[in-house]
Amino acid sequence: MCGRYYVDDDTAREIQRLVRKIDERQRQESIRAVERMAAGDIHPGGEAPVLSEKNGSVHCEWQRWGFPGFYGKQLIFNARCESALEKPLFRESVLHRRTVIPATWFYEWNSRKEKNIFCRKDAPVLFMAGFCRRYEDGEHFVILTTVANGSMEPVHDRMPVILEKEEIEEWILDDRKIKGILYKIPCLLERQSDYEQMSLF
């Protein structure tokens, strides 16, 4: 489960480092996308910077978080990695339109509605695996989730699929790497408790 995450200047700087290798025109497009960023929380339904494929390279663009639900149902903003390839709504996107969502940290709420912050111990930014799909109003993305590891289990039974930096290009550009990354065990994360009584949205 991932229902809110946070970006800041560290996130922007890391995106800029990752897109340095692409050609000049795409790099300038990515830099303009990064320059739109402001520190703050990203909520389902909102726009956010993501890394995706363009002309065979990784670039940065803004997409909206969540696929519109059917018949007015709730926004679909997460997908289970175990079943994503089986669901018609997700399958083609996972196979051919993968994204990476950079974040400084993400939030999760336990059964008592207590907010917890999860971040990497060894890096200022974490990278969540996702995929996208085009709708009439532009590109929308969804974050993939997997079974919680030891750092997440005390709070929730699901967590985002966390990528290592060296897996970013593989996830976005290399169709052969999909299944290996889908079923990986994410790295352990640092948890900080914030016991404000909050609802998810």
pLDDT in tens, 18-36: 887 665 667 778 878 888 8
Query: What's the DSSP call for residue 132?
Result: E
Instruction: Give Cα 48 distance to the centre of its chain.
Output: 10
Give the pTM: 0.90
Tell me how far apart the alpha carbons of residues 119 and 187 are, in angstroms, rounded to a whole number: 10
- Give the list of residues 6+ apart from residue 68 with CB closer than 8 angstroms, or none: 75, 76, 135, 140
Structural domains present in the chain: 5-196 (3.90.1680.10)
In this prediction, residue 199 has a pLDDT band, given cuts at 50, 70 and 90, of very low
- Which region among 9-13, 182-186, 193-197 has the lowest average model confidence (pLDDT)? 193-197
**CA angle, 190 as apex, 188 and 195 as ends, to 5°?**
135
pLDDT for residue 22: 61
Residue-level pLDDT at 194: 63
Beta bridge partners of 40: 7
Mind giving me the DSSP string for 66-118? SBPPGGGPPPB-EEETTTTTTSHHHHHHHHH-EEEEEESEEEEE-TT-EEEEE
Beta bridge partners of 135: 138
